[in-house]
Chain A
């Protein structure tokens, strides 16, 4: 080999090849770094600030155990739906059918009990099974047929909602009837009270669900695979991740969680109504919570705790502004601002200085 071939040895070799020292980035840089490693930090700060803000504004009326636990009760359905939505969005998908699945499964739990005389616990299990099956259909269409999740779940939303009206013949099952004949359907509405604070089982299920999913996403191989699939599916495949299996498990689990939200709905509303607004706006509410929670719509980034905080932020604004006597439109306006701000922060976090 001639001398001219060695031109590259001219480059010095003494630079560190893989030194991972933190660059001196100043306060903002450290903050940036902290946000990068803990994506749930921003919504937590916003949540705490909102609670303190309304606390100063409204005093003990707002900072009472009653009011604070009322927020939890008001967000329990959206909170559970947001957990399902988080899983889907982490895989770089989106699920427009979450609310519709919740309503249909609540109708199934009610109608199976009242129309066919099936014991309520069995009807609940059937409802959970139907939710899981609907999730499996979406998951299969996304993973195997390679249709965009937006399209699949847009269609699924319409199909499920229409099936819900057709099957129920638009009949509502009254709360009194449920109380008298199938109280098990109201199980998620059972209230536990301590010193003015009221927790329903639905609230406790929501919190447990978020904690369990946070553990699974962070500390199990399955969770790491969910993030990897959302980040770059081809890379995940080449690295040895079962991408199809991961997507199927995510969509099925999301469907199951939506059905759980359906059960929570019966506890919250008392009655079983096929025209519950959750069917129409549940998807947008869940996406709002997830986005405010700092989860990237591009997939692979964010934490489910953030989505939970996002749901709580919406709840705090709703109750706080209502107690302050503001026009409810202010709530929507502020939530709109929060959504845009959250995505702007997400973009800033993703901008990585190397």
Chain B
């Protein structure tokens, strides 16, 4: 491989009691790509993603971000390093506004006395930033950025969560089942949003069960099986049936894909 992966996992092992969720697993995310991670339930997809995003600490193995070894002990540390994760649950507070949610945990304070001693938040600045980010991603026609998140539809919430990740995720964005809870039309919008984020040069890890979605947007597909990377395939060279067959063990993966 000539290009240095932006995010790289080597020999990752994670055990929960007697269960081995990750079995000497490798992982590579190249700059600017959308890498889909697919695998059957229980194959260890979530453990893999958690291991590279700091949500779990692997028992063995190493994670490298831009070639440098990193040891994230929490998702907050990973976030500080530029890795944003959009969880399936979205991690949003329904009663709070879009702005509050976008800035949760990294609020902007007013400059000068009011920010320093009264610790006053700079609401106009945060609202402007939130509005700009949402419009940048085509989540347009926002009239009320202070609307509570619970008043948004599922797709709109996903949109806000992706916008939050895109706004702050400088290096990697991880999306966990972004379309799982959405209707057909909303899924479509979220996929467009994902391509939009990619076009801005930020690499994306997409975890999904939805093969049509994966094949539509992914540049490469990491097939996870039995706690390790079985192969990485090119969606243009393989069919969805192939992918499912590799994933479930019905078919042997091609030799060159395993080496990749």
Contact = CB atoms under 8 A, between A and B. Distances in A.
Q: Are chains A and B native binding partners rather than an unrelated pairing?
A: yes
Interface of A: 1-2, 5-9, 11-13, 15-22, 36-37, 215, 219-222, 224-225, 227-228, 231-232, 234-236, 238-241, 300-301, 352, 354
Contacts of A20: 141-145, 147, 152
Given A19-B141, A21-B143, A221 B109 contact: yes
Contacts of A1: 215-216, 235, 239-240
Contact of B141 (A11, A16, A234): A16
Interface stretch (B92-100, B220-228, B252-260): B92-100
Contacts of A235: 89-93
Given A17-B139, A21-B143, A220 B93 contact: no
A228 B76 CA distance: 16
B101 interface: yes
B109 A228 contact: no
B119 A220 contact: yes
B94 A232 contact: yes
Given A17-B138, A20-B144, A36-B148, A234 B89 contact: yes
Contacts of A234: 89, 91
Interface of B: 75-76, 79, 85, 87, 89-96, 100-101, 104-107, 109, 118-121, 123, 134, 138-148, 150-153, 155-156, 159-160, 184-189, 192, 212, 215-216, 235, 239-240
Contacts of A11: 184-185, 188
Contacts of B89: 234-235, 238
Interface centre among B75, B96, B145 (most CB of A within 10 A): B96
Nearest to B156: A18
A122 to B, nearest CB: 28
Nearest to A18: B139
Given A221-B119, A235-B90, A240 B105 contact: yes
A354 B121 contact: no
A37 B97 CA distance: 10
Nearest to A223: B121
A20 B157 CA distance: 12
Contacts of A232: 92-94
12 contacts: A5-B240, A11-B185, A17-B138, A17-B155, A19-B143, A219-B120, A231-B96, A232-B92, A235-B90, A239-B93, A239-B105, A354-B151
Nearest to A227: B96
Interface centre among B95, B192, B239 (most CB of A within 10 A): B95
A225 B109 CA distance: 14
B105 A352 contact: no
Contacts of A8: 184, 187-188, 212
Nearest to B115: A220
A13 B101 CA distance: 27
B79 A240 contact: yes
B235 A239 contact: no
B184 to A, nearest CB: 5
A215 B144 CA distance: 22
B140 A18 contact: yes
Given A21-B143, A219-B120, A236 B104 contact: yes
Contacts of A16: 140-141
A290 B92 CA distance: 25
Nearest to A221: B107
A239 B95 contact: no
B59 to A, nearest CB: 23
Contact of A222 (B119, B144, B153): B119
A169 to B, nearest CB: 44
B212 A22 contact: no
A12 B185 contact: yes
B119 A227 contact: no
Contacts of A301: 95
Nearest to B138: A17
Contact of B101 (A37, A219, A239, A354): A239
Contacts of A12: 185
Contacts of A7: 212
A269 to B, nearest CB: 35
A1 B235 CA distance: 8
Nearest to B102: A239
A224 B185 contact: no
